Amino acid sequence: MDRIEAGVYRRLDAMRDDIIKLTGEMVAFKSVNPRFMADPESSQESDVQDYIESRLKALGLDISRWEAEARRPNLVALRHGRGGGRSLAFNGHIDVVPIGDREGWDYDPWGSEIVDGKLYGRGSVDMKAGVAAFIAASEAIINAGVELKGDLQLHIVVDEEAGGFAGTRDVIKRGYRADGVIVAEPTSGFIDAAEGGLSWLRVTIRGRAAHAGWRFAQIYPQAEPDAENAGGINAIEKGVKFVAAARELEREWARSRHHPLMPPGITTINPGVMVGGVGLGEDGLPQITSNPAMIPDVCVIDFDFKYLPTESFEEVRDEFEAFVAAFARADPWLRDHPPTLQWHLSNIDFPPFSTPPDHPLIEAVRETHRQLGIKTVLTGKRAVTDAAFYAGANMTPIILGPAGAGLHGDNEYVELDSLIEVAKVFAGVILRWCGVAT
């Protein structure tokens, strides 16, 4: 370990109380994503960004701030390098999910209480602690007087919890790019080097409406032939068969498709919403959903559709559409009235990524771990994060952050020792990746 690196680590050890204070003060802001609030204007996203911005300005960083939506600012802080090095961006979001039932919390969700080495509060580990860690790492390097060769960027965004439309997607749209990206979501200090792709998909199945009183004539057509009244085709029943068929496809993919960093069966096709009724409205949903005396002619099924880090959306889309076509051909009605598919429903589209284990960015983490006496563990992300959008813009991301628990649940906390350790890892990676100017 060289003198500069060792000095930065000592500085971070001395900053321990300040890093914890920074994390706690950020947690105290009730920055719930306004998309989840009855009163969106009461969200404190803008307030916590004010707090962070003042701290970053004190470091002499170049700050860009803009409102992607009303009272929803993104921050990008830039430390220009001297040249000849690689650029590195850190990403973190300051929006949080609601606290849920307050009775389920043993501690004040906004109180930043510290108990047994853990700081409790909504957004503590998801992911204000990660933001605090990369701010602290940057501060330690700058205050030590270290000049970098490559540029250092801090992307501090809103809206991740609702899909990143006004957050990271907007940052990338504005042209911010880096040779490597670290998304500081909680990983218990492990490196998430892969993340599967995700798209929301709507499948609409059409039938033929009729009076339910004549359903018996479909079941026992010899009982009372009545072409005028017995001609209903129940779209919900077709939809149930489709869900069952999709489940078998899901099982087949689970058996035959794998990624070394992902758990078996990660390629899920989850039917999350199913709505049947009569009449297809302009919003893509049935117009009548409260009259069981009608044979429904519309069944809408919304799927959460996941695929492997090494697969492309185009190949899995084509394969699934071929499956749907084969399903329709096997049904006399659907053969002439096939289901329709709407991909990227609600604009939910997370590209996959799989950063090679020997990539220089991972090697920079591995060498930093070696210097700090930390075992390097590579894993894959089960959920989706803003790392997907960097990958979709042809940047190389990894996900790395502190340990904790309770994210999106009760009694969320971050482990304080892990917070300090991750800040050191971030600092070491900055020095190695960006390079130190002499």
Tally of structural domains, the chain: 2
pLDDT at 223: 57
Is the pLDDT score of 217 beyond 80? no
Q: What separation, in Å, do the N-terminal and C-terminal C-alpha atoms of the chain show?
A: 17
Q: Which of 5, 45, 95, 297 is catalytic?
A: 95
Same domain, 265 and 299: yes
Same domain, 330 and 418: no
Mean pLDDT of the region 113-122: 98
pLDDT at 216: 82
pLDDT tens digits, 14-51: 999 999 999 999 999 999 999 999 999 999 999 999 99
Mean pLDDT of the region 96-100: 98
Same domain, 179 and 264: no
| Share of residues in the chain with pLDDT > 90 (%) | 95
| Domain enclosing residue 220, as ranges | 197-349
Same domain, 384 and 331: no
Last residue of a domain, one of 311, 332, 349: 349
pLDDT at 213: 86
Q: Nearest-5° angle of CA 168, CA 174, CA 177?
A: 75
Same domain, 313 and 265: yes
Same domain, 341 and 382: no
- Angle formed by the axes of helices 3-14 and 129-143, to 10°? 130
Last residue of a domain, one of 349, 364, 397: 349
Same domain, 75 and 59: yes
Distance separating alpha carbons of residues 380 and 257, to the nearest angstrom: 15
pLDDT tens digits, 221-241: 665 555 555 679 999 999 999
Same domain, 177 and 217: no
Last residue of a domain, one of 349, 367, 394: 349
Mean pLDDT over all residues of the chain?
96
Same domain, 206 and 191: no
Is the pLDDT score of 354 beyond 70? yes
pLDDT at 229: 57
pLDDT at 218: 76
Same domain, 87 and 141: yes
Q: Which of 126, 159, 160, 192 is catalytic?
A: 160
pLDDT tens digits, 299-351: 999 999 999 999 999 999 999 999 999 999 999 999 999 999 999 999 999 99
Same domain, 333 and 202: yes
Mean pLDDT of the region 258-283: 97
Distance separating alpha carbons of residues 90 and 131, to the nearest angstrom: 8
pLDDT at 1: 66
pLDDT at 51: 98
Q: What are phi and psi of 236, to 5 degrees?
A: -65, -40
Same domain, 235 and 330: yes
pLDDT at 222: 64
Mean pLDDT of the region 53-68: 97
CB 267 within 8 A of CB 253: yes
Is residue 95 annotated as part of the catalytic site, yes or no?
yes
pLDDT at 438: 84
pLDDT at 221: 64
Q: What is the CATH number of the domain that holds 298?
A: 3.30.70.360
How far are the Cα atoms of 12, 17, 46, 241 from residue 417, in angstroms, in the given order? Answer: 12, 11, 29, 52
Q: What is the CATH number of the domain that holds 15?
A: 3.40.630.10
pTM, 2 dp: 0.96
Distance of CA 73 to the CA centre of its chain: 19
